[in-house]
A and B are shown apart, each in its own frame.
Chain A
C-alpha cells in the first residue's frame, strides 16, 4: 500500500513540475518564436517580392478571415500608390506542404511574382523551386485567371526537370491564391486603403 502511494505521489509531482517548467519556457519564448517565423519564413519571400517598395511590407500587414481560415496579407507601396498585396497558400509537394507567397498588383489584376516560403522537397531537385528562380519567375506578369498548370498538364508553366510533383504543387498553391484573390478583392482593396499615405 505504501509503495502504491509513493508511486502515485512521485509520478504526480514529477508530471506537475514538468508541466509548470514547460509552461514557463513556452511563455518565455512565445514572442521570440513569432518574430523568428516572420523573419525566416515569410520575411525573405516578402522582401524578394516587394523589392523597391517605399514602405516595409512586413510591418504593414492585416488579417482577414475567410470561412474558418485566417490569413495574413502584406501590403506594398509602389510609385506612391498602395497597389500590391501578398499572401501565402500551400500545395502538396513530394515531401510535404509547400508554402508559396504570391504578390498581386491590385490595379492591373496581374501577378507581381511568387516565392516559395517553406518546403521539405529533395535537395538538388524539388528544393530548386526555392533555391533557383527558374520556376517562380514564370509567374511574374501572369494575369489573374482560374488556374495555372505545368505544360505537362496543358498549362503554361515549364516544370523543373525531375521535380514535376514539386512544380505541380507550386502551381496548385498559386492557383489557390488567385482564387482567394478573386473572392476577397473588394475586402482587400478596402483594407489596403488604410495603409495609403
Chain B
C-alpha cells in the first residue's frame, strides 16, 4: 500500500475534498447549507455514517460476497443513518427539525456508497477508518464554509453552534441581508463561485 494512514486521512481534507474537488454528494450540499450550523450538523451526521460504514465494510470485506456487495453496503449504511436520525432526535432535536428529510437522505449520498465500494471494500481496517474520517471531516468543513458564506450574505449573521453567533449589524450597520443567498438558486451560485475559487487556488 503506497499511502500511509496519515495520507489517507489528509487527502479528504484537500486533494479529494468531496463537494469541491470531487463534486460529489451535492444534494445535501445545496439543500441544507442555509446556515453554518445546519451545514456543520449535516456534515457531522455524514461523518458518523461514513466512518461507521467504512469500518464495517472493511471488517466484513472477506465475508461479503462480490455479487451482493451493494445490497450489503446499503444495509450497513441505512442502519447507521437510522441510528444517526434517532440519536439526533433524542439529543439534538432543534437541529433535527432544521435538517428534516436530508438526514434519511444520507443513505443515497454517493460519497458514502462511493467510499464503501471504491475504498473500504479493497483496503485494510485502519486505512478505511482514516479514509472515512478524513472524507467526513472534509465534507463537514466544506458544508460549514458554504453555510457560513450563505448565512452571512443572506441573513446578515452567522451562528457557529447553539448560542455562539455573530451579527453583522454590529460591525456594518448599513448592511442589508441579501435573502436570495439563503434560497435555492443562491445555493447554486454560491457553490459555483466557491468551486471556481477552490480551482484557482488548487492550480
- Interface residues, chain A, CB within 8 Å of chain B? 3, 6-7, 10-11, 14-15, 18, 21-22, 25-26, 29, 32-33, 36-37, 39-41, 118, 120, 122-125
Contacts and interface: CB of A to CB of B under 8 A. Distances in A.
Nearest to B183: A122
B65 A125 contact: no
Given A6-B65, A118-B97, A124-B155, A15 B89 contact: no
Contact of B87 (A21, A29, A41, A122): A29
Nearest to B177: A124
Given A33-B89, A36-B93, A7 B65 contact: yes
Contact of B82 (A6, A7, A22, A118): A22
Given A123-B179, A124-B177, A124-B182, A33 B86 contact: yes
Contacts, number: 72
Interface residues of B, number: 31
A114 B117 CA distance: 51
Dominant secondary structure of chain B at its interface with chain A = helix
Interface string B90-120: 1101100100100000000000000000000
B3 interface: no
Contacts of B90: 29, 32-33, 36
Contact of A32 (B75, B76, B91, B183): B91
Contacts of B79: 18, 21-22
Contact of B182 (A3, A6, A29, A123): A123
Given A11-B72, A33-B86, A124 B179 contact: yes
Contacts of B68: 7, 10-11
25 contacts: A10-B65, A11-B68, A11-B72, A11-B75, A14-B75, A15-B75, A18-B76, A18-B78, A18-B79, A22-B83, A25-B82, A33-B86, A33-B90, A33-B93, A39-B93, A40-B93, A41-B93, A41-B97, A122-B182, A123-B35, A124-B155, A124-B177, A124-B179, A124-B182, A125-B179
Contacts of A32: 90-91
B120 to A, nearest CB: 15
A120 B31 CA distance: 13
A29 B86 contact: yes
Given A25-B86, A33-B86, A124-B179, 12 more contacts: A3-B67, A11-B68, A14-B75, A29-B86, A32-B91, A36-B89, A39-B93, A122-B179, A123-B35, A124-B155, A124-B177, A124-B182
Contacts of A37: 93
A14 B86 contact: no
B1 interface: no
A11 B177 CA distance: 52
A39 B93 CA distance: 9
A120 B177 contact: no
Contact of B97 (A7, A10, A40, A124): A40
A124 B176 CA distance: 12
A74 B76 CA distance: 42
Contacts of A11: 68, 71-72, 75
- For A3, A15, A29, which residue has the most chain B Cβ atoms within 10 angstroms? A29
A30 to B, nearest CB: 8
Contacts of B182: 122-124
B63 interface: yes
Contacts of A26: 86
Contacts of B75: 11, 14-15, 18
Nearest to A122: B183
Given A22-B79, A40-B97, A124-B154, A10 B86 contact: no
